[in-house]
Chain A
Amino acid sequence: MADMTAFTWMIALPLLAAPVIYLIGRLVRPDGEALTRWAALVMLGLTWIPFAIAASDLNADGVQTYTLGTASLRLDDLGLLLAALSLGLGTIVVFYSGPYMAADDGQEKYYASLVAMVGVMMGLGCAADLFNLWVWFEAMAIASYLLVAFYHEQPTSLEAGVKYLVQSAVGSVFVLLGIALVLSQTGTLDLTEIRAAAPESSIPLLAAGGLFLIGFGVKAALVPMHTWLPDAHSQAPSGISAMLSGVVIEAGLVALLRVLSALVGIGASWGELLMVFGAFNMLIGNLMALRQTQVKRLLAYSSLSHVGYMLLGLGIAFYAQQAAGAEGGFFHMLTHGMMKGLAFLAAGALLYALHASMGDHGPLTISDLSGAAQKYPWAALGLSVAVLGLAGLPPLAGFMSKWQIFVAGFETKNEWIEALVVFAALNSVLSLAYYAPLVNALYRQKPSDAVLAGGPLPSLMNVPLAVLGVAIVAVGVWPSLLDWLSGPAGRALIASFGF
């Protein structure tokens, strides 16, 4: 067994912590459940230490590899990006869940699954071979099934969990079939070796690529495989909605990028396909969000359109072998994580104050929000900043990342891609038509009945909102703040094409 390096500890710590957290909750009496949230927070806090060491190792010595038997893990800049996103949002969500979940039963399961999911996603980013990738992917799915169906006494959560499970399982079978095809054609599962072994053109490998695109696409919520997403995102506990939207679907996207970059040499037009999916995602996501009355469902559909922007940037990268598109796509992945994280957490805070703390599991509707700013100024401000950022209004983070994608599109000087960029920009305008009424409702002078009857909001819940809100503004004003993550990740993706 090779020496454990920092990045393996980064993955192992949360995975080892998860069962411990569960056992603490089950065994420690009388208040083990309260203890679990602190345990989860401490463990994720500690994970930042190996993360920082791994990041500096990566910076100093290049790609880190760890081999155990025949399986190996490899930390490159793309893996670091996913690790930063999942660990960052994970820590914030654990902190947020303290007050949010305080009254719920089964917190030990919640925190154990959440911490495990963070670790698994970091592992997913480091998978160096196809099968390893599938195992991490499946583990992530299982952890998230438990979290989506956490309120298993609620018929709607149960329904969302069932759909999520069935659709993900179908996707995962497609991925397995793809793996089988690749193995039969190239005789290897290692991503770099596949690239070397793949012939110039091969119909089975093309089919494998298609299967991967659909299989991972279910998790990444590509239209029309997205149908689980609005249900799961709106029914999960709000912290989990933030994780699902901010990291899990992006993890699916990263997995997809990993396999497609191994198949980039077989002469298929992956870039064009990604861009077409991107266009559909943007349009369908926006149109579906336009007429929603439930806040979390609206935000869920907006995730679809944001995946579309990422796909556009990444598709440009595949099409033109040009790092700028990938950098923009990954930058948007980060800013979307922050913005959608904030949006779901702030909406969750309002849901908590207006419904959940009253023991009511009904959805938060836009009309409930009327006048919420008077009673819950910070949550309202957080939600406003988040959705305006998602709409792409400067000077917030979302504008800068969209801009970087658009610049990449025009740098190809291909008129079809330029037209697609214009289409994307028009979609941002369309999204204003549902974000703006949301903000309007929050600042109305006449409060809704729900707001008048609403309970207090624990002040601790405002802390994660403030952190994310400040980050969104800071990145909007100073966009190169996240360059150290998205820049190398974009270049790593291009480098992995092997040209």
Chain B
Amino acid sequence: MSTLEILMAGVIAIIGIGLYGLLITRNLIKVVVALQILVKGALLALVAAGEASGQVNLGQSLAITVIVADTVVAVVGLALAVQAKRLLGTLDVDALSTLKG
């Protein structure tokens, strides 16, 4: 297997883990963690793409930008989780499924 193929497999595995987490977890903090795992997979993909196209710098600079943007999302997500715990007393996402139909 070439490096690229290993990286590809890694991306798929990480994305799979992240999605699996999002599909099954009931805990809001774990939801945010699963999102983080997903983004890590995407980061790996970007770096690998830079490698594949011979533009390693470009791939890395993209990855760093994504980290910045993603941190903001994580902060907002965690803030919402804190607020949920404060308001509802629980982090269970079932408490956050009142809007339906």
A residues sitting closer than 8 Å to B (CB atoms) are 131, 135, 138-139, 141-142, 145-146, 149, 152-153, 155-156, 158-163, 165-166, 169-170, 173, 176-177, 179-181, 183-187, 189, 230-231, 234-235
Q: Given A155-B98, A173-B39, do A142 and B46 touch, yes or no (CB 8 Å)?
A: no
Neighbour of B69 across the interface among A138, A158, A159, A163, CB < 8 A: A138
Q: Are A158 and B83 in contact (CB under 8 A)?
A: yes
Q: Is the CB of B41 within 8 A of A173?
A: yes
Q: Tell me if A131 and B62 are in contact (CB < 8 A).
A: yes
B52 to chain A, nearest CB (A): 4
Which one of A146, A176, A184 contacts B76 once the chains associate, using CB atoms below 8 Å? Answer: A146
Which B residue sits closest to A181, measured CB to CB?
Answer: B49
Kindly report which residue of chain B lies nearest to residue A138, judged by CB atoms. Answer: B69
B24 at the interface (CB under 8 A from A): no
Q: Are B38 and A162 touching (Cβ within 8 A)?
A: no
Chain A residues, Cβ within 8 Å of B88: 155
Give 1 or 0 for each of B26-62: 1 = CB within 8 Å of chain A CB. Answer: 0010010001001101100110111011110011001
- The 8 A-B pairs of least Cβ separation, nearest first, read A180-B45, A176-B42, A184-B49, A180-B49, A187-B53, A184-B52, A183-B49, A159-B96
Judge if B73 is at the interface, Cβ distance under 8 Å. Answer: yes
A325-B63 Cα distance, complex, nearest whole Å: 37
Q: How far is the CB of A104 from chain B (nearest CB, A)?
A: 16
Nearest A-chain residue to B46, judged by Cβ: A180
* B45 lies within 8 A of A177 (CB): yes
CA distance A184 to B50 in the complex (A): 7
Contacts of A163 in B (CB 8 A): 96
Determine which of B35, B50, B93, B96 lies in contact with A183 in the assembled complex, contact meaning CB atoms within 8 Å: B50
Q: Are A166 and B22 in contact (CB under 8 A)?
A: yes
In the complex, chain B residues whose CB is within 8 Å of the CB of A180: 11, 42, 45-46, 48-49
Smallest CB-CB separation from B83: which chain A residue? A152
Determine chain A's interface SS by DSSP, over half rule: helix
Decide if A177 touches B42 in the complex (CB within 8 Å).
Answer: yes
In the complex, A179→B48 CA distance in Å?
11
Residue B54 contacts which of A138, A161, A187 (CB distance < 8 angstroms)? A187
CB of B55 within 8 A of CB of A173, answer: no
Tell me the residues in window 60-101 of chain B with beta carbons closer than 8 Å to chain A beta carbons. 62, 65-66, 69, 72-73, 76-77, 80-81, 83-84, 87-88, 93, 96-99
Given A170-B38, A184-B49, do A176 and B66 touch, yes or no (CB 8 Å)?
A: yes
Closest-by-CB residue of A relative to B93 is A162
Q: Is A165's CB under 8 angstroms from B46's CB?
A: no
The interface residues of chain A lying within 8 Å CB-to-CB of B41 are 173, 177
Q: Can you list 6 residue pairs at the A/B interface with Cβ under 8 Å?
A: A153-B87, A159-B98, A165-B73, A173-B38, A173-B42, A183-B62
